[in-house]
Structure 1
Amino acid sequence: MAKKTGVFICSGCGIGESLDVDALVKVAAKECKAPVCKTNGFLCGKEGVELIKQDIAAGELDCVLVVGCSNRVNYEAFDFGPSVVVERVNIREQVAWSQQPNDEDTQAMAEDYIRMYMAKAKTVEAPEPYIAENLSKTIMVVGGGLAGMTAAIEAAKANYQVLLVEKEAALGGWLNKVYKLAPVKAPHTELEDTNLEARIAEINDNPNIKVYTSAVIEKTAGGPGLFDVTIKQNGNEIIERAGAIVLATGAVPYNPEKLGHLGFGMSPNVITQSMFEEIAKKGTITRPSDGKEVKKIAFIQCAGSRDQEHLPYCSAACCIESIKQSLYLKEQDPEAQAYVFYKDIRSSGQYEHFYKKAQMAGVMFIKGDVTDVSEGDEGTLVIEADDLLMGDKTMADEIDLIVLANGMVPTTAFEEGVYMGLGAVAAVTEGAGEAAASCDAPAVPPATIIKSNILNLQYRQGPELPDLKYGFPDSHYICFPYETRRTGIYAAGSVRRPMDMGQSVGDGVGAALKAIQCVELTEQGAAVHPRALDISFPDFQLTRCTQCKRCTDECPFGAINEDEKGNPLINPTRCRRCSTCMGACPERIISFKNYSVPMIGNMLKAFEVPEEDEEKPRILIFACENDAIPAIDMAGISRLQLNAWIRIIPVRCLGSLSLVWINDAMSRGVDGVLLLGCKHGDDYQCHFMKGSELAEIRLSKVSETLDRLGLESERVQARTVSIMDYEVIPKMLAEFMEKIEELGPNPMKGF
């Protein structure tokens, strides 16, 4: 427990011009009984930091309150080692820069923040990392295609041991089936060889890489640093321990049998891109029907992609592959004709040079919707389309070969080799929502778990990965590419999202780097993302556990299993420190040494709530540290004026919200509570996946309680923001304040 708390107040960056710093010192030293309280005009400078270090050494302070700028800046300057707890009190961005200078309400806000953090400091403790025994730093790569081979090679180059598992008899994946590659290096105009033999040789010659071919994953248990993976190869079972896993099992073409409306199955001369690659590899491009050399070919783009009846998404690589294949034909016969029927040509980045080369080679690009494919004379084909540029009908006849760009489907949308369709995800968490209901709480929607039989995880929440969308096992698509919702497992290549060969190479490198970061931080007992370097982890007081299972149901990352009695079993290396389990627990038995229900409760009980006759309402804001706090800080940096009645408490995630906090706030006479969290839904940006959604579900229960108590449920509301929404923060607060003024003061003031 932190018994000696030093308070150090910065007066620089305009703080001293907006606030009475001496009055702040009185609040800390006299009212809050801080044994050390000093000020400095440049606290993050060398002199200011040394001032703090001297007092730590002389007074053996175990907690330091740095009162000044946001904790999002200068964090390295205020790192005094693991034994000293540092709490940052933001009176720069959230007070001095966003409130009227030298105003009594501005001063009251700054003084309240000191009271709040001094109250938190009474119970905060320095966290101790969880250091597991027999940790492994081996990187396991599942899938031996281009992305997987790249990940294995790059991790091995960094001197890490690598296990490469491939289900086929040989490495290479999709590279085994293609004739040539679209250019991945300058000048980005020439077709390139696959260099598959050289890639495989590089893997086989590297002593850091152990290869398992004709192998599948029978079982994956444990967590980062402690993955025990059972590999089945040729009837034998081998158990390997891995520190992190790269999932690079790729994608497969969309089932062309579903594309009868584009002529597939009508004629053997209507084929797919992968079939065309097989023909090109044989040397001469000929018709499947009679072996006649192809003189006229048509490529139909988005064959099933960007279609709500088939694949709603763009398959990313199809345009480049069709351009590449049209150049196959032009290389064979410059006089041959190639038509590309497209919705939009997506040749981003350097591929624009490749697109232009095809145009210069005489490839005809027609922006049109294909309306009919029929048979012509002597095995030829006829295409009718709506020309979207010319505004009329167009026809291409005497076509020797039609190639459908039929898109890609991730291998995670398969179960035991059978394509399950876009609905290939299933809620496999048994009893999800039942536990919540048993605790008189709203049911929590269970996670959708991919049914792919690839990793066969021994997780209570399901045997495979939760999907992001359409069966792709990604996580936060903006901030954390490669990350999945199972800590230590990183997706790379077209299993993560549709992509071309060049992007797959970059993806393999990126996923390997994330896996390396994971094993290194796991060894330190620290979180990888998004709370990177956080060494805290949850502590469970199991003597009070009622086995309600809400913590296991609601953990977004599968960090909690259960024993045979239903007690939670935490897997610390899986934990991302979001504290969702803490907010889920109705008995409040889950806490962190530096973040707990009582700590936040002490903070909200520490600020002053004026009486009704003072006409100074109080609005309490619980703001998530990933988007809401940065947005509020950005508003301050932009010198936008924020409402003077607010008091902000940062939370790790809105998923950690305890309903007790809202109850205590309303009981104290707080006039309104606003929850600010990351966006969720189709355009979600929640760093912890489920936090904002869970908070809103819990809020529905709060509304019922408030109504029963005679308090308007509108006093507690939730909003979602991203860091880019900082300009709307003042308006958002003003609208909420208008609603509170309409409702009037909290009738529980003074009780």
Structure 2
Amino acid sequence: MEKKIGAYICTGCGIGDALDVAALAKVATGEYKVPVCREHGFLCSEEGRALIQADVEQEGVNSLVIAACSPRVMVDAFDFGPDKVVERVNLREQVVWSHPAEDEDTQMMAEDYLRMGITKAKEMEPPVPYQGENLSKRILVVGGGLTGLTAAKEAAAAGYEVVLVEKSDELGGYTRNVAKLPPLTPPYEEPTAFDLEGLVGEVTGSDKITVYTGSQIEKISGAPCMFDVSIQQNGSQAAERVGAIVLATGAVPYDASKLEHLGFGKHPDVITADQLEGMFKAGEVKRPSNGQPVNGVAFILCAGSRDPEHLPYCSAACCVESLKQAKYFKDANPEMPVYIFYKDLRAHGTYEFLYKQLQKDGVFFVRGTVTGVDDDGSGALAISAEDVLTRAPILSESVDLVVLATGMVSTASLGKPYKAQEPKEGEEEVEVPADTILASNLLNLEYRQGPEIPALKYGFPDSHFICFPYESRRTGIYPAGTVRAPMDYSRAMDDAAGAALKAIQCVEMTGQGKAVHPRAGDLSYPEFFMQRCTQCKRCTEECPFGAINEDEKANPLPNPTRCRRCGVCMGACPERIISFKNYSVGMIGNMIKNIEVPEEDEEKPRILVLACENDAYPALDMVGIRRAQYNPWVRVIPVRCLGSMNLVWIADALSSGIDGILLLGCKHGDDYQCHFVKGSELANIRMSKIKETLDRLVLESERVRFEQLSITDYGKLPEILDDFASDLEDLGPNPYKDF
């Protein structure tokens, strides 16, 4: 489109008091020949917006550079329609609130930020939303247990059509074997009767829900709003097109045959909690060894859980299930001795009331690590344990039945490891951190990156466990219930509703051509200039979300509705053929080149900071909000993700005379916080290649530094920036300065 740029400088919030606004305006009108440049004391007010709107309507301004507060605030106030380019210049939080007023360096910083903003506005184009064909807003729910039934019911209640696929012949899953649920209503002291048949009836009786039982997903191809699902049902096949998927295949109990040290398999009267639940469901609770009534019982919690030799994690629901089953026994016979051996008892929330009631009922709670389960010589069982606090030995009275509260294992972690395409002869293997992809016959995705969603820590799938629950690394696919994380029945039902809402959000926003998460509402998507593609496969290998398939010649096949707009593919591409209309390698490169670098004798070094927009950039805003100050040599450019960083930006910056480059990314590792999962980690890997660039430019590797931080680390930022500036002073000026 033909551009007409308008620059608008706000003088409120202390900006006009700290800066020479006339000199700032001269940068726009003099250096960049911006035809419309205005100042206002309160740009986000009705009057300020009206000023801008008048220029849009009367002057034909279609590209707006708004120099005011952070782009993270007042988003709606500065929205002038999808056909207008809007670039925000952060003068408030990252200039006048974090640097001295009426200072030469502060003024130079503001002018550089305006230069970069105008440069970007000149190159940006309004994004045109991607619109696929034959879009569907139906929701596929895989799994017909408690979570799947609840998700299907909630989505249908919201007015959406649902396709429910269950592998067994009956709906209900694990809950078909459950006598009662833990307490769900006040006073939270008694197990709750659960009307499973009523829930099943609601689902099967709904005209919005199509149910396939005795069925399995044969394959799923496509992308959000365009998923084509092939369903195998008793030898026949059915095809459905859906918009989003809720994965609710649940979990299975940990294999108790591995717990021989607790007597399982050795003594017939040592059983698991799910076996006991089945006995209560059937109304026949007897000793397996002789069929006699149970006159004493002991529960062993964390049987295989929180154990590095078995399941290293807490399975969340085991303690409460054991409390519930202990209540069964006490209700049937208040005089029966009931023991609960535990490491820590986790009866969270309202389950505390059940725990207290059992104390009143006379249940013996023993905090000890079980060391053995042995025959007492009379056919009964005795439990030996070590007291957690005193390390003293404990020996229980004889009991007829020992119940192991085994943990839960996500069905997403069951299957054989899958390896994406091996490099062909002569191809260089791309160095990318490995995810665990299993062929487990849950979804059977036809994705270049593997047939299932990645099973991550402990085999549970997630995208970003801190900020984005329900989301997997496959856009439009939302795990819910115990397939996603260990949880109890109540939380699983809440989880199902949450995943159904996320699936609805996905189909609605995808239908409008918008990104779902975390750049919710983003209309841009990556475009590929295929004429220069070398089929190196870096984009397909490094995309954290499986958004790019390949054809038989290794040409990338992008799926825009799978894309989360992180730009990792853009940063990975050595040929720089991937770009967005409002974010590209050349665009950021030109912003860097428009930073004014003082001559060497002025002794004013320049530091380029590429800051992740998810944690690092808002942390810099927090520094300003708290009026902390940092080195004025810094020039910050927000990036969608540090994984979108292309190495050419490093070369551009250093060859322009910039003295140092600081990369601020999210934390990665076991407790990762990267909103795009792998972006920060990939940037760190690329750092190893930056040394080659520096060697080629005959520069010190210390001029480029990578720092990990979360938004809560804002207090450390001034020190990080000042320390880096001090190190650069010791190194001396960039020898490319003045060239």
TM-score (norm 1): 0.97
CA distance in 2, matches of 1:582, 1:473: 26
Question: Could you say which residue in structure 2 is the equivalent of 1:484?
Answer: 472
Shift in CA distance, 433/592, structure 1 to aligned 2, threshold 3 Å: farther
Contact 1:289 1:379 in 2 (8 A): no
Question: Could you say which residue in structure 2 is the equivalent of 1:106?
Answer: 106
CA distance in 2, matches of 1:72, 1:596: 20
* Per-residue deviation, 1:95: 0.5
Q: Partner of 1:80: helix, strand, or coil?
A: coil
CA distance in 2, matches of 1:712, 1:481: 42
Equivalent in 531, 540, 551 of residue 539 of structure 2: 551
Contact 2:339 2:364 in 1 (8 A): yes
1:675 lines up with 2:663 in the alignment? yes
Shift in CA distance, 138/213, structure 1 to aligned 2, threshold 3 Å: same
Q: Partner of 1:741: helix, strand, or coil?
A: helix
1:430 lines up with 2:421 in the alignment? yes
Q: Where does the alignment leave 5 or more consecutive residues of structure 2 unmatched?
A: none
Equivalent in 595, 603, 611 of residue 599 of structure 2: 611
TM-score (norm 2): 0.98
The amino acid that maps onto 2:184 is: V
Equivalent in 545, 548, 552 of residue 560 of structure 1: 548
Question: Could you say which residue in structure 1 is the equivalent of 2:714?
Answer: 726
Q: Partner of 1:674: helix, strand, or coil?
A: strand
* Per-residue deviation, 1:150: 0.7
Contact 2:435 2:456 in 1 (8 A): no
* Per-residue deviation, 1:434: 9.2
CA distance in 1, matches of 2:467, 2:195: 33
Shift in CA distance, 427/612, structure 1 to aligned 2, threshold 3 Å: farther
* Per-residue deviation, 1:391: 4.1
Alignment of 1:290-689 (within 5 A): 290-415=290-415, 426=417, 428-431=419-422, 437=428, 443-689=431-677
* Per-residue deviation, 1:467: 2.1
* Per-residue deviation, 1:354: 1.8
* Per-residue deviation, 1:16: 1.4
* Per-residue deviation, 1:435: 9.6
CA distance in 2, matches of 1:279, 1:356: 25
Contact 1:433 1:445 in 2 (8 A): no
* Per-residue deviation, 1:436: 8.4
1:44 lines up with 2:44 in the alignment? yes
CA distance in 2, matches of 1:476, 1:446: 16
Q: Where does the alignment leave 5 or more consecutive residues of structure 1 unmatched?
A: 416-423
Shift in CA distance, 2/433, structure 1 to aligned 2, threshold 3 Å: farther
1:704 lines up with 2:686 in the alignment? no
* Per-residue deviation, 1:413: 1.9
Contact 1:413 1:451 in 2 (8 A): no
RMSD after superposition: 1.4
Equivalent in 677, 686, 693 of residue 681 of structure 2: 693
Shift in CA distance, 176/149, structure 1 to aligned 2, threshold 3 Å: same
CA distance in 1, matches of 2:387, 2:282: 34
Question: Could you say which residue in structure 2 is the equivalent of 1:420?
Answer: none
1:61 lines up with 2:61 in the alignment? yes
The amino acid that maps onto 1:292 is: Q
Question: Could you say which residue in structure 2 is the equivalent of 1:168?
Answer: 168
Question: Could you say which residue in structure 2 is the equivalent of 1:288?
Answer: 288
1:200-238 CA deviation, whole Å, 9 max, x = no partner?
Answer: 011111111111000000000000000000000010010
The amino acid that maps onto 1:685 is: Q
Contact 1:482 1:491 in 2 (8 A): yes
Contact 1:299 1:340 in 2 (8 A): yes
Question: Could you say which residue in structure 2 is the equivalent of 1:199?
Answer: 199
Kindly tell me the number of residue pairs found equivalent between the two proteins.
739
Contact 2:460 2:485 in 1 (8 A): yes
Question: Could you say which residue in structure 2 is the equivalent of 1:419?
Answer: none
1:421-440 CA deviation, whole Å, 9 max, x = no partner?
Answer: xxx6x3511136999837xx
CA distance in 2, matches of 1:258, 1:85: 62
Question: Could you say which residue in structure 2 is the equivalent of 1:116?
Answer: 116
1:225 lines up with 2:216 in the alignment? no
CA distance in 2, matches of 1:109, 1:709: 27
Shift in CA distance, 97/2, structure 1 to aligned 2, threshold 3 Å: farther
Shift in CA distance, 427/433, structure 1 to aligned 2, threshold 3 Å: farther
Give the percent of matched residue pairs that are identical in Structure 1 and Structure 2.
Answer: 61
Shift in CA distance, 77/432, structure 1 to aligned 2, threshold 3 Å: farther
1:78 lines up with 2:78 in the alignment? yes
Question: Could you say which residue in structure 1 is the equivalent of 2:738?
Answer: 750
* Per-residue deviation, 1:468: 2.5
* Per-residue deviation, 1:704: 2.7
The amino acid that maps onto 2:4 is: K
Contact 2:190 2:327 in 1 (8 A): no
Question: Could you say which residue in structure 1 is the equivalent of 2:125?
Answer: 125
1:431-460 CA deviation, whole Å, 9 max, x = no partner?
Answer: 36999837xxx7223433133111000001
Contact 1:182 1:190 in 2 (8 A): yes
1:188 lines up with 2:179 in the alignment? no
Q: Partner of 2:245: helix, strand, or coil?
A: strand
Contact 2:607 2:634 in 1 (8 A): yes
The amino acid that maps onto 1:575 is: C
